């Protein structure tokens, strides 16, 4: 399992660096030609709007995470572990984005400084908490199966 975690950390770092190149200073796809949905549901679930750019990134990485099932047998246990890692991946990738961003950095990682993370609980955006909780639940269930 440690080799999978190391792989995902490296993948998240590469992904964060690529996303910084794509978005530049205009974070959360502000200058990208994509659709946006900002309503009560997206603000409740994510604490921010959702963009076409990020939806397609999620779909792409969902496929990447499931690629091993082309070579190994699928099981419910492996699916739960995959989804749990998928949730944690996005938190790590976003965290690397801030670490690597010359326009934001960790000094800006707080409520009121990041316009796309509108809802915070303690020192983290609400979406991080949801991701950690849901990801951990999936990993625990996968470990119990």
**Which residues in 31-47 are b (16+ Cβ under 10 Å) and which e?**
eeeeeeeeeeeeeeebb
Average pLDDT estimate for 54-78: 95
pLDDT of residue 116: 86
pLDDT of residue 117: 87
pLDDT of residue 109: 92
Confidence class of residue 65 from pLDDT cuts 50, 70 and 90? very high
Confidence class of residue 111 from pLDDT cuts 50, 70 and 90? very high
Query: What's the number of CA atoms in the CB half-sphere (13 Å) around residue 100?
Result: 19
Average pLDDT estimate for 93-105: 92
CA 136 to each of CA 36, 56, 70, 90: distance values in angstroms, whole numbers, following the listed order: 29, 24, 25, 13
Instruction: Answer whether 0.95 is exceeded by the pTM.
Output: no
Token duo for residue 26:
């205009």
φ/ψ region of 105 (left if φ > 0, alpha if ψ in -120 to 50, else beta) reads: left
Confidence class of residue 24 from pLDDT cuts 50, 70 and 90? confident
Orientation angle between helical segments 76-100 and 2-23, nearest 10 degrees: 50
Token duo for residue 106:
């960790």
Distance CA 55, CA 69 (A): 22
pLDDT of residue 48: 78
Confidence class of residue 44 from pLDDT cuts 50, 70 and 90? confident
Domain boundaries, the chain: 2-144
Confidence class of residue 53 from pLDDT cuts 50, 70 and 90? very high
pLDDT of residue 35: 93
């Amino acid at each position: 399992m440690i080799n999978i975690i190391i792989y995902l950390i490296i993948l998240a770092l590469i992904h964060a660096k690529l996303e910084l190149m794509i978005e530049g200073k205009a974070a959360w796809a502000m200058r990208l030609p994509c659709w946006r949905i900002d309503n009560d549901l997206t603000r409740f679930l994510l604490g921010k709007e959702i963009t076409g750019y990020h939806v397609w990134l999620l779909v792409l990485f969902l496929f990447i995470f499931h690629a091993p099932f082309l070579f190994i047998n699928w099981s419910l246990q492996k699916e739960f572990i995959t989804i749990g890692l998928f949730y944690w991946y996005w938190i790590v990738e976003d965290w690397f984005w801030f670490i690597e961003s010359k326009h934001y950095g960790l000094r800006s990682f707080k409520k009121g400084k990041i316009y796309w993370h509108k809802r915070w609980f303690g020192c983290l955006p609400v979406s991080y908490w949801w991701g950690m909780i849901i990801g951990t639940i999936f990993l625990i269930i996968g470990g119990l199966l």
